Structure 1
Amino acid sequence: MSETAKRFGSNFKGFHQPVVDFWRREVGAISSRNFSNRFSASENLVLRFEIYRKLEKHKGCVNTVSFNADGDVLISGSDDRRIVLWDWQLGKVKLLFHSGHGNNVFQAKFMPFSDDRTIVTCAADGMVRRASILEGGKVDTCFLGLHQGRAHKLCIEPGNPHIFYTCGEDGLVQRFDLRTEAPTELFTCQSAGRRGRNMEANQLNAIAIDPRNSNLFAVGGMDEYARLYDIRRVQADGLNGFSRVTHHFCPPHLIGNEQVGITGLAFSEQSELLVSYNDEFIYLFTPDMGLGSNPIPSSSVSKSSGSKSESASSPKDDSKHSVPLVYKGHKNSETVKGVNFFGPRSEYVVSGSDCGRIFIWRKKSGELIRVMEADRHVVNCIEPHPHSPVLASSGIESDIKVWTSTAKERATLPDNIELRKRTRRGWMYNISSPQELLAHLFSLQSRSSMSPEREGESSTATGRELLDLILTFNDQSDVENATEDEDEDEDGNSHEDFFS
């Protein structure tokens, strides 16, 4: 580096204006890679996000969106049980096919180093499937494994074209190797604390792998603890998953709170764990915040009243290092909502909300910097582009929004961030058949008449739940009865020369 570059680099140290960084790159004061990272993480770009395209082809809620490694193809899955591969820049469908699932598709991802020809999926029918894209755009799908109940999420071992993990409402965590015929059942996650007195399975909603150490993965579900496991310690030996947890993570004020659960997990590039709670907030844990292999007993901690904490950043009895950073402002009561990082070094935290908006916070400070109007209803998924300042979002609506930093003016936060009228979907309701509707009605009736906790409770609450279920089913019935598009061939595939 020249003396001039060094001198001016020192003078401009700490500045992040694009013009300054452009000049520093040209004179050799900043490397091209560092320039790209600084540019992609620029808050100026975040404040200029606007909708670039709306991708419309699905006939139901879009539950998953994900970019391929190159970032030129976006994959989506929906309640209509179809998978769509998009050229998102042109807004065109590259390939459309039926997933083979009998119920709502919850997750769909490309396997690494497969030339985007291998896709793995999981769904509300509990099945885990693989789709192989053949020459000419034909697709062959096959069954890989099964969960007893919905299979909400899967995660892929970074850089491995063969290994991925799944979790489901049966509490089971499975490891799949595409080179073998059957998955490995690792363990069944069990509830902790009072809810675990009968050692029942903990219904799992989320699973994520640490990008810096692929031996570590975390799961979260219907209790307050995010659990970190080391695959080297996990053996399929019939023992329960509770005894093999490396660490439990939970904000101090939520320990013992039986009203919360985890809907989303994500690891940062620094191995921090991001955890999103229903009816609560989002928290960021550093690796040293773990509570060990056995969580703090509920009896030793004053039980939470169930109300939201005024502030998670200044508890009375906890040291500074044990308290996670908190991100507030969004609403997470409806559906199973994800959470994610944005930026080449995970500089921002992003989440959807029940109000149909996208929320963006600075990771380091927890400060809310952007609220974007996205959908009329719930936004569930926010997916960052692998190497460009681009976001994809989806939710209860049947389209996908792609966001780029093209707005002429920098956005500002609204004076009052007020929630819109909530939808009628409960955060775990996803009724897809008359049989499932009847099962839920029977369950509600049984809880109302037999559960000691509901003795003396007015029947109006149960009535509202019944109405919500019926309306939810009616909203989805048109999706289940939808016919396939006319442009599909006899194999159920539709494409525009996918390999061109």
Structure 2
Amino acid sequence: MEENMSDDDNREKPSDSPDSPTENAKRLKTDSGCLEKSEESSSSSNTTEQESASTSTDSGFPRSRNSKHRNYRTRTSDEAQENQSDNEEDSAMREEESEDNMLPLSSPASSDSTVIHDTDTDSDEEVHPTLKKPKPKHKWFIIPEVVTRQVGVSSKYQSPELFQRRCYGSLHSVQRLELMYKLEEHDGCVNSLNFHPDGSLLASGSDDLKVVIWDWKIGKCLLKYDTKHRGNIFQSKFLNLSGDLHIATSARDGQVRIAQISREEGVRDNRKLGSHRGPCHKIAVLPEQPHIILSAGEDGLVLSHDVRKNKPERIVQVRDDDREVALYSIHGHPLKTQEFCVSGRDDVVRVYDQRKSNDPLATYHPFKRNQSEYAGLHVTCAVYNHDGSEILASYNDADIYLFDVNAPPGNFVHQYQGHRNGATIKGVNFFGPRSEFVVSGSDCGNVYFWEKNTEAIVQWMLADDNGVVNCLEPHPQLPFICTSGLDWDVKVWVPSCENEPTMPELAQTIKNNNKSRANWSTTSADINESQMLWMLWRHLRSTNHMRRVVASDTENFVLQLQTNYSSSASSSSSDSASNDEDDVLDGPAGCSAS
């Protein structure tokens, strides 16, 4: 028995193997495990191929991802089988190499994640710098804020701000903005928006020479009145006066008018306060002097209009080397009621004092004034922040710049990029009770929100179907905002969206804006000509629309008359009253036919 067992052992053990029986058993166990795994993988892959071939109508096989070429085109069944066999051979070779090198199959050197990362790195070189800005983090969370609101603010909290103001200035409110409804009443482009100081009403001015007063919370038009202007309305503002409503307007005809409106009787008075020699784009209402209106015109003059007087007072005429500077914007200091800033057809923002307005108190510009490439740029709008410590300025075919009022000329604090300001004279504004965000329209029809400190775009939404957004008016107390542009309506945006914005087309839109800006000439002559062509196009567009409206109304009226006439002619009435009616109706019908 012992000899037979030894012979069997000798026959089982290979003659050329120096390994011990234990080591040989381990090796056989490992090899059998690898074989079982390979058989299972091959069987599973065959099963997958059969299932996909029986259910898929596109290619018949799952698409394999090549880490180098990433070819995802549709393959035939023969190609798929060849690719599947090649992939199995490649996987077997990788397993052998991994065993020889004692490296796992999921090592970073052999995974597809490295290739994707390299591809992303290559694509990042083409990404606009604005998209690489660090995204701000949320600092306001609704659950702790609601709990704190219910319990009451204790001494542990350093900020004394109320729940409402903290919600207004939060990133959460900006990223949840979405369109609530449209206010449709105008027959032209809406050029101006303004909330009443208490936030209950909204006034809008349009190319149709009308001003509409809205109860914006329910989307209802309360009053629409004729301003008696002879040109496009550029600005409409409420005056913070007691009693009746007082609305000041300015227009292309250069006039500054004020309308006194009763909630019961309508318009009581509408009179002219003063006039410029050119278009008047903006007016400013001083917080501590509600009866004073400052206006800036393209004649370079700043006028002070007192509603208690008949004639305006000349404050200053802005000049640059004995050349009148056409003014596009004026804004009053929120705390120093005597100071205001103006901007226009050059690259300088000037600050003046009403009491000593011969020379500006300060000037701000982001460029060196002797650089020829910036010679054609000008400021379309400049506004103060909530406490007057900063000034925000938007440049045509350039970016938006934030200036510190204590900084010397040629320096800026922040630069906001991505939008396009070339077709119209666009506005710019802050959003939030402490000016936490910067908001502007664009020629691409979108509204851009930047976080003020990080310069990152945190919200981006389509706000004009015709392609240009000009006006942005935030609510004075609540996180709402109204926008308008070439569309003949006013859009109201509220923070009611459930999800944060993904903005999938933002990168391509910024790329298109940069391309169009590069193709746009920056010489002053070309800019003036382009603006004239743009205004002519808007005028023709409005005129054609009005003609279509009149033609449609006339056609409907004639059809109604013809219907009435045919019904009356078919009736068997013989009295004189019916004959007189037929004679009256026959005249317009015959004229329309001829």
Pairwise TM-score range, normalised by the shorter structure? 0.7 to 0.9
The 5 A counterparts of 1:454-469 are none
Q: Look up the match of 2:325.
A: 202
Higher helix proportion (structure 1 or 2):
2
Inter-partner Cα distance in structure 2 for 1:472 and 1:204: 21
Q: Look up the match of 2:147.
A: 23
CA distance 1:407–1:466, shift in 2 (3 Å): closer
Q: Look up the match of 2:47.
A: none
Equivalent of 2:461 in 360, 363, 372: 372
SS in 2 for 1:63: strand
Residue 177 in 1 paired to residue 292 in 2? no
CA apart distance, 1:396: 1.0
Inter-partner Cα distance in structure 1 for 2:188 and 2:337: 34
Which shifted more, 328-337 or 116-125?
Answer: 116-125
Inter-partner Cα distance in structure 1 for 2:152 and 2:209: 51
Structure with bigger RCO (C-alpha 8 Å, 6+ apart): 1
SS in 2 for 1:412: coil
Q: Look up the match of 1:411.
A: 501
Q: Look up the match of 2:395.
A: 277
Does the aligned pair in 2 maintain the 1:25–1:32 contact within 8 Å? Answer: no
CA distance 1:462–1:225, shift in 2 (3 Å): closer
The 5 A counterparts of 1:212-231 are 212-231=335-354
Q: Look up the match of 1:156.
A: 285
Does the aligned pair in 1 maintain the 2:401–2:414 contact within 8 Å? Answer: yes
CA apart distance, 1:224: 0.7
CA apart distance, 1:274: 0.5
Equivalent of 1:37 in 165, 174, 178: 165
CA deviation vs aligned residue, 1:382-430 (integer Å, no higher than 9, x gap): 00001000000001111000000011211133352416999xxx9xxxx
Equivalent of 2:235 in 104, 107, 115: 107
Q: Look up the match of 2:445.
A: 356
Inter-partner Cα distance in structure 1 for 2:196 and 2:422: 30
Does the aligned pair in 2 maintain the 1:355–1:419 contact within 8 Å? Answer: no
SS in 1 for 2:258: strand
The 5 A counterparts of 1:419-434 are none
CA apart distance, 1:349: 0.5
Residue 69 in 1 paired to residue 158 in 2? no
Residue 267 in 1 paired to residue 267 in 2? no
Q: Look up the match of 1:334.
A: 423
Does the aligned pair in 1 maintain the 2:296–2:330 contact within 8 Å? Answer: yes
Does the aligned pair in 2 maintain the 1:112–1:160 contact within 8 Å? Answer: no
Higher strand proportion (structure 1 or 2):
1
Q: Look up the match of 2:366.
A: 251
CA apart distance, 1:99: 0.6
CA distance 1:351–1:81, shift in 2 (3 Å): same
Q: Look up the match of 1:190.
A: 319
SS in 2 for 1:114: coil
Give me the CA root mean square deviation.
Answer: 2.8
SS in 1 for 2:211: strand
Q: Look up the match of 1:165.
A: 294
Inter-partner Cα distance in structure 2 for 1:170 and 1:154: 14
CA deviation vs aligned residue, 1:40-82 (integer Å, no higher than 9, x gap): 1111111110011100010111000110011111100000000
Equivalent of 1:147 in 266, 270, 276: 276
Inter-partner Cα distance in structure 2 for 1:58 and 1:219: 29
CA apart distance, 1:472: 4.0
Q: Percent identity?
A: 36
CA apart distance, 1:140: 2.1
- For 2:500, give the aligned amino acid: R
SS in 2 for 1:351: strand
SS in 1 for 2:472: strand
Residue 124 in 1 paired to residue 261 in 2? no
CA distance 1:140–1:34, shift in 2 (3 Å): same
- For 2:364, give the aligned amino acid: F
CA apart distance, 1:469: 6.6
CA distance 1:281–1:33, shift in 2 (3 Å): same
CA distance 1:233–1:468, shift in 2 (3 Å): closer
SS in 2 for 1:180: coil
The TM-score with structure 1 as length reference comes to 0.74
CA distance 1:32–1:57, shift in 2 (3 Å): farther
CA apart distance, 1:465: 8.9
Does the aligned pair in 1 maintain the 2:139–2:171 contact within 8 Å? Answer: no
Inter-partner Cα distance in structure 2 for 1:36 and 1:133: 31
- For 1:388, give the aligned amino acid: L
Which shifted more, 84-93 or 34-43?
Answer: 34-43
